[in-house]
Amino acid sequence: MGERNTAQQMLALAVAAKYVHFYEIDSEESKELTHIFMAHPEAIKLFRAYPYVVLMDSTYKTNIYKKPLIEMVGVTPTGSSFLIACAMIPTESDVNYKWLLTKLAAILDATGVASPAVFVTDRELGLISALEQVFPRAEHLLFRWHVNKAVNAKALTTYQTESMRKFVISNEEDGWFRLINSVTEESFQRAWQCFQRKWPKMEDYVRATWGQHAGKFVLCYTNEVLHFRNTATSRVESEHSLLKAWLK
The CATH number of residue 60's host domain is 3.30.420
- Using alpha carbons, list the distances in angstroms from residue 45 to 37, 86, 95, 102, 220: 17, 15, 27, 18, 34
The one-letter amino acid code at 214 reads A
* 106 falls within a domain: yes
pLDDT over threshold 70, residue 113: no
Give CA 90 to chain center in angstroms.
17
pLDDT in tens, 195-220: 999 999 999 999 999 999 999 999 99
Q: How far apart are CA 111 and CA 118, in angstroms?
A: 20
pLDDT value at residue 213: 95
Q: How far apart are CA 85 and CA 37, in angstroms?
A: 7
* 184 falls within a domain: yes
* 162 falls within a domain: yes
Whether the CB-CB separation of 89 and 103 falls below 8 Å is answered with no
137 and 169 both lie in a single domain = no
Residue of 151, 140, 159, 153 whose CA lies nearest to 179? 151
Q: How far apart are CA 139 and CA 149, in angstroms?
A: 23
Residue of 30, 29, 23, 83 whose CA lies nearest to 59? 83
pLDDT over threshold 90, residue 221: yes
130 and 182 both lie in a single domain = no
pLDDT over threshold 60, residue 110: no
Q: What is the DSSP letter of 215?
A: G
pTM exceeds 0.85 for this model: yes
How many domains does the chain contain in total?
Answer: 2
Range with lowest mean pLDDT among 16-30, 100-114, 189-203, 229-243: 100-114
Domain that holds residue 179: 145-222
11 and 101 both lie in a single domain = yes
Sign of torsion, CA 109 41 51 217?
Answer: negative
160 and 196 both lie in a single domain = yes
